[in-house]
Chains A and B, each alone.
Chain A
């Protein structure tokens, strides 16, 4: 039976893993290769590097990080952050990454998703969708958004209060697009995306749990795997994302980075709750003989 995947996400800035709150007060947290190897040993099912390097000149550093990581870590590796051209994707794949995740560029130019999937195969094209609940009153929808993709009234958090829009945001959650999260998910599937990462801007950073309603709505609307992201603070939250939320995988960052729970502990908890997860023996990866 297919296991639910646990995917740690590492923020990488200029070739180093960094920790911080909302990209502020970044602190060096180590070498990506070392941390990747540790997570593999703990039982991570995949790994995501989010390249938050701002300066253009330093962007190629991630290629070296990917190349070094893929020499010692033998699990799927996804890279996201600032991917805008087919050449960006080609360089990352030849460096050794398995999938790329596209966010803002998919909204700016949906055809980019289609071209990328045709060129490199759907299996390596992940699209990030960052929805945020915004009040129906006062929301402006750009004229350029096609009718069938426009935000439509959806339930508020926990079904309480007024109906809201699940508005897809870009630029790290700062900019609304007027795209409906569920309709946009169906659209990028149609364009050829092989997988979705769904990060609720309302839940992200709260540690109060994933946005289950949005996760469930999107998981049910598409046939490709959905990775729930944003809000993990306890192993129970990851259980909820893959059971009630219907996600194929859960992505988390701070819960693992700050040592609150190891991946092993998280998986043991999930297994006790009846979730199918892949348990690994705690051995060094080099001991395969």
Chain B
């Protein structure tokens, strides 16, 4: 069972519908206590960083998410959900994130030929072999809509990059049991569904391993 964290920010139903399409069981979690009962977690999100971290705090999700990551359950952050995993965001001020990964969230630099937000389909350059990308290849297109992106301190967590104008930014993360994408797999047609399926397989295989050990 995959839990989708509901903290009042984001299109949860899109993620859930994509999982339904893949015959993956999921439930919307509106309380931190429910995190204990799921095998993997998706942290979605659209909107502003400040509001999102505020809502996570208000719903007592901050420590619960850190504990979930420490328990080695797979976690997938999507879009703002990826940015929230980092230490500091500079979106309209300076805000502290979950700090699960080291690094910052910064804005695209203006260029004459690019639009900000970065909106639409752009291609992936795969930087790390991870089970999350099973069946995906460099050059595959995925759907983005964002004005900010993450800058990890440790470059080994970078799973994929993408180029907007002359700026190459981090479009996916894989670090232990923590996965994240700046793009929206739930809106990226076949490629996106494949990635969600891969995440569901990661959750299932870990769960299976856990069962056999006990």
Contacts and interface: CB of A to CB of B under 8 A. Distances in A.
A1 B47 contact: no
A71 B21 CA distance: 7
B189 to A, nearest CB: 5
Contacts of B36: none
Contact of A123 (B22, B145, B188, B190): B145
A223 B110 CA distance: 9
Interface in B143-180: 143, 145, 163-164
B197 A194 contact: no
A96 B13 contact: yes
B48 A76 contact: no
A288 B190 contact: yes
Contacts of A287: 190
Contact of B120 (A5, A71, A98, A289): A5
B193 A74 contact: yes
Interface residues of A, number: 38
A289 B197 contact: yes
A286 to B, nearest CB: 8
Q: Which residue among A2, A40, A76 has the maximum number of chain B CB atoms within 10 Å of its CB?
A: A2
A273 interface: no
A195 interface: yes
B115 A248 contact: yes
Contact of B119 (A71, A93, A225): A225
B138 to A, nearest CB: 13
B115 A96 contact: no
A283 B190 contact: yes
Interface in A1-35: 1-5
A123 B46 contact: yes
Contacts of B145: 76, 123, 194
Contacts, number: 98
Given A45-B120, A224-B117, A2 B22 contact: no
A72 B186 CA distance: 11
Given A3-B141, A223-B110, A96 B121 contact: no
Contacts of B143: 75-76
B46 A121 contact: yes
B14 A96 contact: yes
Nearest to B114: A2
Nearest to B196: A288
A40 B189 contact: yes
A70 B17 contact: yes
Interface of B: 11, 13-14, 17-18, 20-22, 46-48, 110, 114-123, 135, 141, 143, 145, 163-164, 186-190, 192-194, 197
24 contacts: A1-B123, A2-B164, A5-B120, A45-B120, A45-B121, A71-B21, A74-B18, A74-B21, A74-B189, A74-B193, A75-B189, A76-B143, A76-B145, A96-B14, A98-B14, A98-B187, A124-B46, A194-B119, A224-B117, A225-B115, A283-B190, A285-B190, A288-B190, A289-B194
Given A1-B163, A5-B121, A74-B186, 8 more contacts: A2-B120, A70-B14, A70-B17, A248-B115, A283-B190, A285-B193, A286-B21, A288-B194
